[in-house]
Amino acid sequence: MHLIQPVPPQKPLDTLLDWERKIKGGPVWDLLVVQQQMKVRHIRPMTSPNAGIQMSMEMGWNLSQLMEEFQGLHGHHYRDSEWVWLQGGRRYPCAADSYLLPIDPTDGGGAGAPEPRIYLKFTIPPPQRHLVFVSVHHSH
């Protein structure tokens, strides 16, 4: 499922500046393969606690709605990749890809307003059985 195998940082993530957490040469994950693996349920979706709250409060979505939107992503929606920590359990850096998902322009703004978009960031931690959304919110 990897397109690239980035080398994890040698310092703890919480000591790195934003630009130091970025992964060059991304995306890390092959979006089409990941989407196919989700369809056949080889990978199960879940949200981090923060992403679940963001998704529910900002968009009013549940996990099923998020998965419908995720299946509609295309490579040109890719934004960047970076190292993230997952909450709980062992703390190790995970490579995450972020995408900007366009949403229905009738949902807000009006003429001349920027196109509303949703920011999605996900990772697939070892042993690659779950896709974890670590961020799901409106793009500001």
pLDDT of residue 88: 63
Q: Do the domain assignments include residue 51? A: no
Q: Do the domain assignments include residue 106? A: yes
Q: Do the domain assignments include residue 16? A: no
Q: What is the DSSP string of the chain?
A: -BS--PPPPSS-GGGS-HHHHB-TT---B-HHHHHHHHHTTSSEEEE-HHHHHHIIIII---HHHHHHHHHT--GGGEEEEEEEEPSSSS--EEEEEEEEEE--GGGS--TTSPPPEEEEEEE--TTS-EEEEEEEEE--
pTM: 0.87
pLDDT of residue 105: 47
Q: Do the domain assignments include residue 86? A: yes
Q: Do the domain assignments include residue 11? A: no
Rg (CA), the chain: 15
Q: Do the domain assignments include residue 119? A: no
Q: Do the domain assignments include residue 26? A: no
pLDDT tens, residue by residue, 99-126:
998 875 444 444 555 566 899 999 998 8
Domain that holds residue 39: 33-46+58-111+124-134
Output the tens digit of pLDDT for each of the chain's 140 residues. 889 999 999 998 889 999 999 999 999 999 999 999 999 999 999 999 889 998 899 889 999 999 999 999 999 999 999 999 886 655 778 999 999 988 754 444 445 555 668 999 999 988 888 999 999 988 86
Count of structural domains within the chain: 1
Q: Do the domain assignments include residue 129? A: yes
